[in-house]
């Protein structure tokens, strides 16, 4: 096993170690979704909306950590493919909420069958520190 991050119980990794690991894992995910003509940013938007339907653009920016112009382009592209749709917020008409379409939800579900095993294989190969696990 080649550890990208310090072994369990070791000191908290440096920012460069975390960023390198994130980029490596991002490349793994992008390879899994590229067959559907999706980018990593596209996948992050689909995954965020699958977990939390009806996010505002601001909430989606927080979830994906994408820059506002990038996120707008991603949502425009996904909407053009009928994978997401926008709707005006019922309580505050100044806000726009983004949702997965049925087609987008089906694509997300289908891609999970390849993305999750690829993620797990990456973690098995490179290790994962306890601070990265959910709930830590």
pLDDT number for residue 4: 57
Identify which of 92, 27, 33 has the alpha carbon closest to the alpha carbon of residue 59.
Answer: 92
Quote the pLDDT of residue 136.
40
Question: If you count them, how many residues does the chain have?
Answer: 136
Whether the CA torsion 130, 135, 71, 104 is positive or negative: it is positive
Q: What is the C-alpha separation between 94 and 71, in angstroms, rounded?
A: 18
Domains of the chain: 15-132 (1.10.10.10)
Q: CA torsion angle for 57, 63, 67, 71 (degrees, to 10)? A: -50
**pLDDT tens digits, the chain, 136 residues: what are they?**
455 555 555 567 788 888 888 898 899 999 999 999 999 999 999 999 999 999 999 999 999 999 999 999 999 999 999 999 999 999 999 999 999 999 999 999 999 999 999 988 888 888 765 556 544 4
């Amino acid at each position: 096993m080649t550890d990208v991050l310090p072994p369990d119980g070791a000191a908290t990794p440096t920012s460069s170690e975390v960023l390198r690991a994130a980029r490596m894992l991002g490349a793994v995910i992008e390879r899994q979704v590229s067959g559907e003509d999706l980018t990593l940013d596209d996948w992050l938007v689909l995954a965020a909306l699958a977990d939390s339907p009806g996010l505002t653009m601001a909430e989606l920016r927080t979830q994906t950590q994408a820059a506002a112009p990038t996120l707008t382009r991603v949502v425009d592209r996904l909407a053009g493919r009928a994978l997401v749709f926008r709707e005006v917020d019922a309580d505050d008409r100044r806000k726009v909420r983004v949702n997965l379409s049925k087609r987008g939800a089906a694509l997300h579900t289908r891609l999970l069958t390849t993305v999750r095993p690829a993620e797990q294989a990456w973690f098995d190969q490179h290790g994962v520190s306890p601070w990265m696990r959910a709930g830590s």
